[in-house]
């Protein structure tokens, strides 16, 4: 997987260095996973969503609730997701 590269914010970086986040409709990160989880890798938002919502019913519920699955660079994760996990973000509500 070290060969897989992605472009985020105008930068080309290894996919393995990035993070997928699950964000609620307010933009608050409520989950995070590395793309090199287990034997496979997570390369698309749909694959990331399946990590949290394995069934069609759960994925449909995600869509109704405005859940998003976003790929972030390490810098973006520190700026956008980390504050959510430490309860220091400005998003409300901060759950689900």
Please give the tally of structural domains in the chain: 1
Residue ranges making up the domain that contains 49: 5-85
Does some domain include residue 90? no
Distance between CA atoms of 13 and 6, rounded to whole angstroms? 6
pLDDT at position 96 is 52
Structural domain includes residue 11: yes
pLDDT at position 1: 47
Whole-structure pTM value: 0.88
DSSP string of the chain, one letter each residue: -TT-EEEETTEEEEGGG-EEEEE-TTS-EEEEE-TT-TTS---SHHHHHHHH--SHHHHHHHHHHT-EEEEE-HHHIIIIIHHHHTT-S--SS---
């Amino acid at each position: 997987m070290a060969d897989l590269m992605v472009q985020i914010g105008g930068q080309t970086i290894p996919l393995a260095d990035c993070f997928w986040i699950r964000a609620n409709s307010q933009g608050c990160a409520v989950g995070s996973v590395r793309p090199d989880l287990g034997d496979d890798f997570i390369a698309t938002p749909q694959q990331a969503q399946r990590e949290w919502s394995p069934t069609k019913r759960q994925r449909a519920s995600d869509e109704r609730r405005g859940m998003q699955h976003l790929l972030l660079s390490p810098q973006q994760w520190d700026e956008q997701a980390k504050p959510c996990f430490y309860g220091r973000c400005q998003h409300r509500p901060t759950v689900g």
